[in-house]
Structure 1
Amino acid sequence: MSANEGKIQTPPAQQQKQDSHGKETEMTPQPIVINEHYKAAGKLTGMTAIITGGDSGIGRSVAVHYAREGADVAIVYLKGHEDAEETKKMVEAEGRSCLLLSGDIGDEMFAQEAIRRTMDKFGKLDIIVNNAAEQHPQSSIEDITAEQLERTFRTNIFAMFYLTKAALPHLKEGSSIINTTSINAYRGNAGLLDYSSTKGAIVSFTRSLSMNLAEQKIRVNGVAPGPIWTPLIPSTYPAEEVKSFGGNQPLGRVGQPADLGPAYVYLASTDSSYVTGQVIHVNGGEVING
């Protein structure tokens, strides 16, 4: 059993250098990317996906699940080069190709370049996973600067518009767009005002875009993770909060990226051919209305 496959572990108290991303290579224990019991069935054979924030965390799990199901993947990331290279190795170990694209997805010109390079490499595009995000906890709205507010919105929601707009001419009937929102879009989070606001916007974006593209038979859905053990956690929260992170969920544990990957497979495959405009809640049992 590899370090990235296996049973759920409880994170110890730890804290990385404070930034908006963190490094998966520095996490202890390492997040579980794909569950040891996961059985692939070729559900994405011959497809190509582009995944933002695919270097680590949920994005890495999605990339590896997609590769195991037969898809080639393009990974868009900001600066986690070491993490991205590890993800590429994991995808290639599944016998699929992986293109790494480093840049700021909140920059529309880079979003256009990412799609162009993906098409140059693979010649087709079937799945868009808008997953990249950042968060900056603040105890008061008074502490949220205009710069932070714009940065969070640019990464978390503007980027979805940019990438989807650039990708749309290459999509066709049966293509799928999957957006990562959050449990915080539904229950709120006192310390993540701007982040939670972007996640609420993603829910509305998902619902509206699904209606807009329904006639073209392009499906648009979302996934709303609960507390998941990703690099965002030790890089943005104090060590004592990390130690208890996720423990209050009904299932009594933090979620792992491996818990999310299968949901993205479902939404990208023909298994969900009659599903659009919906959000799947993978949150450890918390009942969310709306």
Structure 2
Amino acid sequence: MRMTNKVVLITGASRGLGLSLARRFAREGASVALTYNTDAAAADRNVEALVAEGAQAMAIGGDISDPDAVKAIFAAVLARFGRIDIVVANAGRELIDTPITEIDNAMFEAVTKTNVFGTFYTLRESARHVTDGGRIIVISSTTTIVPNAGFTAYAGSKAAGRLYVECLAQEMGKRNVTVNGVVPGPLRDAGVIANLQENDYQALAQLSPFARLGSVADVEGAVLFLASDDAAWISGHHLVVNGAAKV
């Protein structure tokens, strides 16, 4: 198991990709800390399931757009496990298929607070507390590299994370900490796309030469690789996981 004796903190892990990553890291032998924003019951159930399978796991509530909450999250993980080896900054807020003229101030502020401010706060605490030789991984989106109408606010907010990765990689190298981004395309089983109609799935699938949509399982391997010892000389990189799709 590649992650034995590692402690992994995954933000936004009560469902979807974050939960899938928590399960995968646990299967690889890691102790996992899952954060959630509002659904404490789901987070507790997820932890119970991981523990039942033999993993060391905990759930911590907190809104990553609140800097004090982010500090408390890291403090709780350190109090429980004594160290943090890997941070996966996965928590985010979606705002898609919405023309800019229909985005009011509250909508824009909400997506910005989570994706710009929240990711920054998470990375700041990661830089303060991750162990030397550790890993910091930011989950991004292909909307930051393929422009689409209706994604202006969301893509702009996620683009901040790309530059965070590149700049923080320059800061953390002296401690042998790598900082990378994973850039998934549309995932059939995560996010708002999980609620589309079958004909919509088929249309999106045709944008990839593989004629299918990605799944959380496709992204797991990329994250595990960047978190592993095999990726020690990869930093400041954005690993696109979208089956060569033009979306």
Q: Same fold (TM over 0.5)?
A: yes
C-alpha distance 219-182 of structure 1, shift in aligned 2 (>3 A)? same
2:34 pairs, out of 64, 69, 75, with 75
- Alignment correspondent of 2:73: 114
Question: C-alpha separation between the residues in 1 aligned to 2:211 and 2:45?
Answer: 30
2:210 pairs, out of 241, 247, 251, with 251
Higher relative contact order (CA 8 A, sep 6+): 1
Question: C-alpha separation between the residues in 2 aligned to 1:222 and 1:95?
Answer: 29
Q: Secondary structure at the match of 1:187?
A: coil
| Cα distance, 1:105 vs structure 2 | 1.1
Matches within 5 A, 1:54-69: 54-69=13-28
Matches within 5 A, 1:122-271: 122-233=81-192, 239=197, 243-244=201-202, 246-248=204-206, 249-271=208-230
- Alignment correspondent of 1:7: none
2:127/2:172 contact within 8 Å kept: no
Question: C-alpha separation between the residues in 2 aligned to 1:245 and 1:262?
Answer: 25
| Cα distance, 1:63 vs structure 2 | 0.7
2:188/2:201 contact within 8 Å kept: no
1:245/1:254 contact within 8 Å kept: no
- Alignment correspondent of 2:63: 104
TM-score in terms of structure 1 length: 0.78
| Structure 2: runs of 5+ lacking an equivalent | none
| Cα distance, 1:75 vs structure 2 | 0.6
2:136/2:177 contact within 8 Å kept: yes
Residue identity opposite 1:145 in structure 2: D
- Alignment correspondent of 1:21: none
| Cα distance, 1:286 vs structure 2 | 2.4
| Structure 1: runs of 5+ lacking an equivalent | 1-41
| Cα distance, 1:103 vs structure 2 | 2.1
Residue identity opposite 1:183 in structure 2: T
- Alignment correspondent of 2:50: 91
C-alpha distance 243-83 of structure 1, shift in aligned 2 (>3 A)? farther
Residue identity opposite 2:205 in structure 1: G
1:38-67 CA-partner distances (Å, limit 9, x unpaired): xxxx21110101101111111112111111
1:185/1:200 contact within 8 Å kept: yes
| Cα distance, 1:121 vs structure 2 | 0.8
- Alignment correspondent of 1:38: none
Question: C-alpha separation between the residues in 1 aligned to 2:204 and 2:213?
Answer: 4
| Cα distance, 1:137 vs structure 2 | 2.7
Question: C-alpha separation between the residues in 1 aligned to 2:36 and 2:80?
Answer: 17
- Alignment correspondent of 1:14: none
1:255/1:283 contact within 8 Å kept: yes
2:43/2:59 contact within 8 Å kept: yes
C-alpha distance 65-190 of structure 1, shift in aligned 2 (>3 A)? same
Q: Secondary structure at the match of 2:83?
A: coil
2:16 aligned with 1:50: no
Residue identity opposite 2:103 in structure 1: I
Identity of aligned residues (%): 30
| Cα distance, 1:93 vs structure 2 | 4.2
Residue identity opposite 2:175 in structure 1: Q
2:37/2:63 contact within 8 Å kept: yes
Q: Secondary structure at the match of 2:145?
A: helix
1:221/1:277 contact within 8 Å kept: yes
C-alpha distance 242-84 of structure 1, shift in aligned 2 (>3 A)? farther
Aligned length: 246
Question: C-alpha separation between the residues in 2 aligned to 1:47 and 1:187?
Answer: 35
C-alpha distance 67-245 of structure 1, shift in aligned 2 (>3 A)? farther
Question: C-alpha separation between the residues in 1 aligned to 2:203 and 2:171?
Answer: 38
